Structure 1
């Protein structure tokens, strides 16, 4: 279905920008900053071959020195019809604002402490199972050594990986692809070996 790309749908919600025929639910232990107790946290990932509307544009060599888009070209790019692109590698997704209802329902049963946060524009967030405080994604994903950025295979082994054989659609603001080297041990845990040649 072709739609005008405005960033939101008719209800004012973000449009889905990632989809896959299956997805991964990742589970690990993380120390809560509020109560200092270990709590279970969850993350979502999509397999190699997922589709995304937010893929990076690749410039031709002749455009490599371009100072940027002209105002007309930017307007055309911004309001182009949604175009799904197949992404060859896996991705960890974060800053999830919208999930397909069947995925959201599955998470209610599988990950009850991972849910929309009313204080963060309903972004899907982990909450401590002991004190109920939100656990910010910045403490889970971004840097090597954090819960979902294990430094090596030994650290990655502590993460439970459960593949959900069901369609996945979401709107996510951040995609941690295999271009992020600090995600390679996690992706190896999911069954995807990454290297410089990729």
Structure 2
């Protein structure tokens, strides 16, 4: 087996005591109480969901949210470029911008050109968001069929994959957490040397449908 992969987590500020935190870079001026902010809470839940499937995963925390969950496109692009230049094997983005832009597209391309996998969350409804909508990105939405250790191949316009959107006691739910679960599964597969094999073996194929018997594949 190879060493646990380094994951560039582009999100809020991770606390110093976060398990697996290798380094943190703040790309915005943090709020004085950032450690208690929605951004820090969101980041901590993403890290925990990733490590639920990949306990040995390590993080390069790239802070783009100063306290609230909002940032500039330029800050996102800078984080992606730093991730591209880092030793991280996987780049994780549990957020999305409503509009594509050359700045973001170029930054995503730099990550992919560096040979890294980029995972991004995509909403189950509505228009595509970015970076999930960029070519080559592993876009993930919530799929209620999936347990935390499962994923689905959806091949929908907005998302290629699905994963568990929640978990026991989770205070953050939806596409953000689903993407984090997927990143954890990918990190575990990378550690075991079989990321390509993992992506060929989904737990479910086809979009989720809700009927009288509960969620099932189309």
Task: Please state which band the TM-score falls in when normalised by the shorter chain.
Answer: under 0.3
User: What's the TM-score, normalizing by structure 2?
Assistant: 0.25
Bigger relative contact order, structure 1 or 2, given CA contacts below 8 A and separation 6+?
1
The structure in which a higher percent of residues are helix is: 2
